[in-house]
Structure 1
Amino acid sequence: MVVLAAFTSLGGLVALLAGAYGLHRTRHLTEAGEITDALVKAVLQGADRPTLQFETADGRVLEVVSPVPPNRRRPLRAGERVRIAYDADDPREVVLIGRERRGLDRAFVAAGASLVVVGLALGMAG
């Protein structure tokens, strides 16, 4: 029972930390990142997400894979322009403004915290 409790708590801790990190990165990019427009390009053969092309503040033109999953209510369409925030130190890290994944990250935090509590309860019972 103690081994099950340890694995449950450890799995929950990993999920909690993943969600917390995602929330932190999203907040950091939306508050301190560079804001620009990006052009949505067509989905490449074999890929499931379109690419975003944008120009950085220092004039470089980059293409990155969209962080928005294709199963969203309103998928990105080729030729569309979207607002993004990117990390000036690593411009490959982007967030689409208004389409952040905060809900998913919060779900990871909640599920992880729940698993940690269940693991602790199992540990105390065993």
Structure 2
Amino acid sequence: MDAGAVGVLAGTMAFGGVAAGLAGCFGLRQAQRVSRTGVRVPALVKERPGRLGEKPPPVLQFVTEDDRVMEVVSPVSPDRRLPLRDGDNVLVTYDPDDPRNIVVQGRERFAVERAFIICGAAVALLATALLAVSFAAR
């Protein structure tokens, strides 16, 4: 493979790695900010009808401090260990400036966000190494 093709490949990889890292940083920062400064309220879990054989994520219904009823699609998917069943109550923290931005307490996805940051950095470093080896071989 010639150096131009390797450069294009490395540039594409670096762009993808940086984008993944930035997405992880943004998600982590938002979740931490809402958890730290948001308003905690109980929310009701409601199932949504889905297509045949498909189970969409549930809706979380809660009342804001200014008495607005909000229904937000759950930002976390239910799993076997912590299912979200129709009629369950969970504690959510919402951003008072944008109540659609919520964090479900006890189900924060900090590990997923950190994984995006780590994988993005690893891909960007790999792309840089690939580019360095390509130019060194010329």
TM-score (norm 2): 0.86
Runs of 4+ in 1 over 4 A off after TM superposition: none
1:41 aligned partner: 46
2:113 aligned partner: 105
2:35 aligned partner: 30
**Which runs of 5 or more residues in structure 2 are unaligned?**
1-5
**Which runs of 5 or more residues in structure 1 are unaligned?**
none
Counterparts of 1:80-119 in structure 2, within 5 Å, are: 80-119=88-127
Amino acid at match of 2:49: L
TM-score (norm 1): 0.94
Shift, 1:103, TM fit: 1.0
Shift, 1:72, TM fit: 5.4
Q: Does the alignment pair 1:17 with 2:25?
A: no
Q: Per the alignment, do residues 122 and 72 of structure 1 end up closer, same or farther by CA in structure 2, a change over 3 Å counting?
A: farther
Mapped contact 1:44–1:50 kept (Cα < 8 A): no
- Percent of aligned positions that are identical: 44
State the superposition RMSD in angstroms: 1.2
